[in-house]
A = this chain, B = another copy of it.
Amino acid sequence: MSKTQKGKYQNKNVYLNAAFDIIKEVGVDKLTMRKVADQLDVSPMYKHFANKDELLKAVLDEFIARADILPADELPWDQWVSFVAKGMFRALQGETSWLPLLGTFDVGDNALQVTLSFVNKLMAAGFSFAQALEAYLAMIHLVIGAVTLQSTMGRGNQALLDSIAGTGSISTKQLKQTIFQDQIDIGLPLLIEALRGRVQYE
């Protein structure tokens, strides 16, 4: 307890940790201000955060920091990109309830750090700034889209399987292999191929 501590819960981190506990238990979508308050034995709602959105924004940025997806700097750029993309995919796959928030909040400091590292890595490999930034954005698009679809695909989706099998151009086994692989492994190789083509003719 520092000398400047005032009130029951001056420390924002106490709230962030409580939020993480609850999210681990019930998912982001079922996080409520009341549950945070209950866990801390505090009235709804003592405000470090003006409203629920402010809390979620802070939790999201902390989530990005904890995901810790930046690889070692020695990797060649294409492996580096692949590592980051798969790391993001895995982190988000474990918490798909984050997805709806990615488009609604401005990036926080930790997200920004990832962006800058990515751009620097690709510029060191010979990409222009604009190319590097576009590569970053395209990778994010793929990750978000892949995580979004992963759950639908993973669930089986018999209707889709049946209908597609009806075209008769592929064995069911092959079809399942295509659909049930990690979605990120579909677009990511294509992205890296395209990037490789661009940097070579720089």
Q: Are B103 and A167 in contact (CB under 8 A)?
A: no
Q: Are B115 and A157 in contact (CB under 8 A)?
A: no
- Shortest CB-to-CB span from A181 to chain B, Å, is 9
Q: Are B149 and A144 in contact (CB under 8 A)?
A: yes
Contact with B along A79-101 (1 / 0, CB 8 A): 00000000000000000100110
- Shortest CB-to-CB span from A10 to chain B, Å, is 25
> Which chain B residue lies CB-closest to A190?
B194
> Which chain B residue lies CB-closest to A139?
B187
Does A179 make an interface contact (CB < 8 A)? yes
Which residue of B164, B178, B186 is within 8 Å of A116 (Cβ)?
B164
Which residue of B170, B183, B197 is within 8 Å of A130 (Cβ)?
B170
Collect the chain B residues with CB atoms within 8 Å of residue A26's CB.
none
Integer count of this chain's copies in the complex: 2
**Residues of A in contact with B (beta carbons under 8 Å apart):** 96, 99-100, 102-107, 112, 115-116, 119-120, 123, 129-130, 133-134, 137-138, 140-152, 155, 157, 159-160, 163-164, 167, 169-170, 174-175, 178-179, 183, 186-187, 190-191, 193-195, 197
Main secondary structure, interface of A, reads: helix
Collect the chain B residues with CB atoms within 8 Å of residue A134's CB.
178, 186, 190
Collect the chain B residues with CB atoms within 8 Å of residue A163's CB.
112, 116
Collect the chain B residues with CB atoms within 8 Å of residue A140's CB.
145, 149
Which residue of B102, B123, B151, B169 is within 8 Å of A149 (Cβ)?
B102
> Contacts A116-B164, A170-B129; is A141 near B103 (CB within 8 Å)?
no
- Known contacts A130-B178, A190-B190, A191-B191; 19 further A-B pairs (Cβ under 8 A): A96-B103, A100-B100, A112-B163, A116-B163, A119-B164, A120-B167, A130-B170, A138-B187, A138-B190, A140-B149, A141-B148, A141-B183, A141-B186, A142-B142, A143-B145, A145-B145, A191-B194, A193-B194, A193-B197
